[in-house]
Amino acid sequence: MTAAAETPATTPPMPRIGDPAPAFSAVSTRGKIDFPADYEGKWVIFFSHPADFTPVCTTEFMTFASMQQQFAAYNTELLGLSVDGLYSHIAWLRTIKEKIAFRDLKNVDVSFPVIEDVSLSVARKYGMVMPGEDSTKAVRAVFVIDPKGIIRVIIYYPLSLGRNFDELLRVVKALQTCDHFGVSTPADWQPGEPVVLAAPGTTGAAQERMAGTAEGVECTEWFLCTKKLSAEEIEAAIRVA
């Protein structure tokens, strides 16, 4: 059965947050990749795009490439995928570097790997193909995968909507902050703003919280307490040398 003839009954279930990232081997613009084994100990942003030589995808790849070192500073690697072939990928990336300007970006070298997936096998394994949007192209999916190979964040965008890359970097910082300090982050959180503490599990603990004895902790109600955590503390904890 060809990929195009594959029915919903035979399509792998979409992975979920908390699941191990589905394993695969693939050819990429940087050679063969065994995923997630090759990225053990690293955070990964694994993302799909609809097609090479398309306008929105071009702006996205230029933006991702321009921010690659910012992500690397937080132990985070980038890995792209589309259903085009390897030589199409190579030609497109060469065109981006040699001919394309976007905003203040030009001569951009896309050095992170881009996976060939003509069979759609990897895209289907990750639920990147949404037939209601397009049955032969991947949508703009984003998977943030932690150093143990566990999926931590899944974000989907339609074909027409370019991603917000500052938000993707914020997501990486927030996840790592939560993991390191054992906290949560509130709406629109940025490093340096107060973080959220887990709600107390007993009436005694709730009363203790509201007594206001913990240094640096502020409570508006027993279940909503925040703690000051400076940007410097966060950078020292999660940024790699």
Contacts of 40 by beta carbon, 8 Å cutoff, 6+ apart: 147, 149
Strand arrangement of the beta sheet that strand 217-221 belongs to: 195-196, 224-227, 217-221
Strand partners, 34: 25
Q: Quick one: CA torsion of 159, 162, 167, 171, rounded to 10 degrees?
A: 30
The CA distances from residue 208 to 78, 228, 238, in Å, are 44, 18, 30
Q: Which residues does 64 contact at the CB level (< 8 Å), separation at least 6?
A: 47, 78, 80, 110, 112, 165
170 annotated ligand binder: no
Residue 225 catalytic?
Answer: no
Q: For the chain, how are helix, strand and coil distributed in percent, rounded to 5?
A: 30, 25, 45
What count of residues does the chain have?
241
What residues are labeled active site?
A: 57
* Annotated binding-site ranges: 140
